[in-house]
Amino acid sequence: MLYPERLHQLTKEHADTLAALVCGLFLFCGWFALHFGFLGWALLLLPIAYVIGGYESAREGLTTLIKEKELDVDLLMIVAALGAAGLGLWRREYYLIIDGAILILIFAISGALEGYAMRRTERSIQSLMSLTQDTARVVRQGKEEVVAIAQLQLGDEIIVKPGELIPTDAVILEGYSTLNQAAITGESLPVEKTVGDEVFAGTLNGYGALKLKLHQPPESSLIQRVIRLVQQAQTETPPSQQFIERFERGYALVIVIAGVLLLILPPLLWNWDWETAIYRALTFLVVASPCALMAAIMPTLLSGIANGAKQGILFKNGSQLEMMGKVRAIAFDKTGTLTTGVLEVCEVIPLSEYTQEYVLKSAASLESRSEHPLGEAIVKAAKHLDWTPATEVQAFPGQGIIGIVNHQEVIAGKYNFVQNYVVDLPQNLIEIATKFELQGKTVVWIAQKISQQYHVLGIIAIADTVRSQAAATISQLKKLGIEQIVMLTGDNQQTAESVAWDLGIDRVYAELLPEDKLHVIRRLQQEYKTVAMVGDGINDAPALAQASVGIAMGTVGSDVALETADIVLMADRLEKIEVAMRLGKRAQAIVKQNITIALGFIILLLIGNFLGDINLPIGVVGHEGSTVLVTLSGLRLLKN
């Protein structure tokens, strides 16, 4: 059962569709009455169809005329329809009134279709809004209480039970669970989360109860940023649409002047009768109006934005969707973009008398007392092994660490640091370590004191690992026609070139400051015109702003990068860049097709009108039919 409030909301949302349906009903009843000779009923019903179907267009057209002193398509259609009705009454050819009503009906149907396209894109926001919670269950002074999201404070402890939505971005204090993040990141599989992991508002908790700690204001949550970005994308008009709208205003004035000349000159110069001149002028107003041209772009771009949002790609506006189809060169930041931004142990090389397990356990015992990122990577790699933290630990910042592990003194650190304790470092390990370093990996040496002498146990190679999908993405981008793929990084040249070689990147610019990245983007734009930049950090923000299209990693990206970028990849999945490019190219192709169809129909109908081969109903069907056609064509982008 529909409550009055819900019924009112549905009526308001679909007012354009309802107006078209009621207009069609009265038009049919008017035609039926006229066909069977009930002229009085026909002259009552048909004006009602005019008013219901044409009210919104007349209101918008008059508002534009009064406030902006400009003509638009809406007013042209109303004038043409009223002209047809007036001519029908004058000549007592009442079917001309029906012709005018048909014009208004099809114009109303076209408007309803455009409204449908807009509502489909708005659903992306509504679906996101439905993921936001109004309240959260918090623990304060040892008691659970339910508070409004807006009343949450930093440091609040939040309880989330199995099957509930995460109310706001937070960090897990206690518990383990799997979370469905598909609505936020586009990932199809649930993600395991445990203590220390960040969780996002709007994601669905699985089987485990969680205690969370609020570490940022609720309004800064990922879901709220997404909603703001999608809303911004809907309100901004892309350059191509702005051009069409400016063209429409001038074009409408030209059409009116031409219509007046067509009305006046033929009777004076070629002895047309006035009724024929009026009829041809009205038909001209209909077929020459750029309705289809106006519908050629925006429904397509809005559909593309909605499609991207479903796949975890947020376009801030339609112009960036257009621009993605024109990109000729792409620059990638390295750390956190092409790589995960997280250090991991990639190799453990022991001396022959020791095992990998022993070397890793000895290093983890020491590094568990360190806060260095290299130490964290070693401890993470050894979490499945059985070891105890070292005692009497002494750290030498930037060099290494010494401590007691199982009653033996163990050291871990750089080559030069360990060399101070070990008399002869094995030559084969030195060669392997040099090879690792050439590959951009950091090498940690491990040694242990045995019988008053230090002996090397082995080495551990640590690196910021390349994203698994990076190489395949770059290969696909080249197949899509990208002429140059560049890597920008603040790392040293050797490390950068090693990563670039593995991924098939064309050019490398290393040891860059933020302003250096900006200068590189400018040089690339001089060479390739349309350049995209992909990054995640604060140091990428200037380059993201300068690029023709700035693309930010949504999960690991800094707030500055997310605000500066034009496109956000919600799941940090590089392969989505290829999807965004395909969407952009497809949008471009559909827009070109739509413009061709719209101009083709206008030209054919104009020729037919001047040759006298079409009447007003055919002109109406041809003109408004093309508008409906290009609108439906634009909606194709809603499908993947």
Which residues lie below 8 Å from residue 594, measured CB to CB, with a gap of 6+?
Answer: 292, 295, 296, 297, 300, 630, 633, 634
Is the alpha carbon torsion for 320, 325, 331, 332 positive or negative?
positive
Three-state DSSP class for 459?
A: strand
Q: Tell how far CA 120 is from the center of its chain.
A: 15
166 with 201: CB under 8 angstroms? Answer: yes
- Nearest alpha-carbon partner for 459 in 442, 440, 441, 446: 446
Distance CA 599, CA 333 (A): 43
- Nearest alpha-carbon partner for 74 in 52, 54, 92: 54
What helix, strand, coil percent values describe the chain, rounded to 5?
55, 20, 25
List, as one string, the DSSP characters of 137-166: EEEETTEEEEEEGGG--TT-EEEE-TTPBP
- CA dist 455 to 239, 361, 420, Å? 69, 16, 12
Distance CA 175, CA 196 (A): 10
Q: Can you name the residues that pair with 347 across neighbouring β-strands?
A: 461
Q: Is residue 16 annotated as part of the catalytic site, yes or no?
A: no
Whole-number CA gyration radius for the chain = 34
Counting runs of H as helices and runs of E as strands, what totals does the chain give? 23, 22
Sheet holding 204-205, edge to edge: 191-193, 177-180, 204-205
Three-state DSSP string of 20-35:
HHHHHHHHHHHHHHHH
306 with 636: CB under 8 angstroms? Answer: no
Apex 274 CA angle, 272 and 275, nearest 5: 110
142-172 burial, b at 16+ Cβ within 10 Å, e below that, comes to: eeeeebebeebeeebbbbbeeeebbbbbbeb
Apex 638 CA angle, 312 and 116, nearest 5: 120
Three-state DSSP class for 66?
A: helix
Distance CA 248, CA 70 (A): 10
Is the alpha carbon torsion for 182, 183, 186, 192 positive or negative?
negative
Distance CA 246, CA 175 (A): 58
What is the number of alpha carbons within 13 Å of residue 537 lying toward its C-beta? 17
Q: Which of 72, 156, 169, 333 is catalytic?
A: 333
Tell me whether residue 12 is exposed, middle or buried, using C-beta atoms within 10 angstroms of its C-beta: 0 to 12, 13 to 18, 19 or more.
Answer: exposed
Three-state DSSP class for 190?
A: coil
300 with 590: CB under 8 angstroms? Answer: yes
Residue numbers annotated as active site:
333
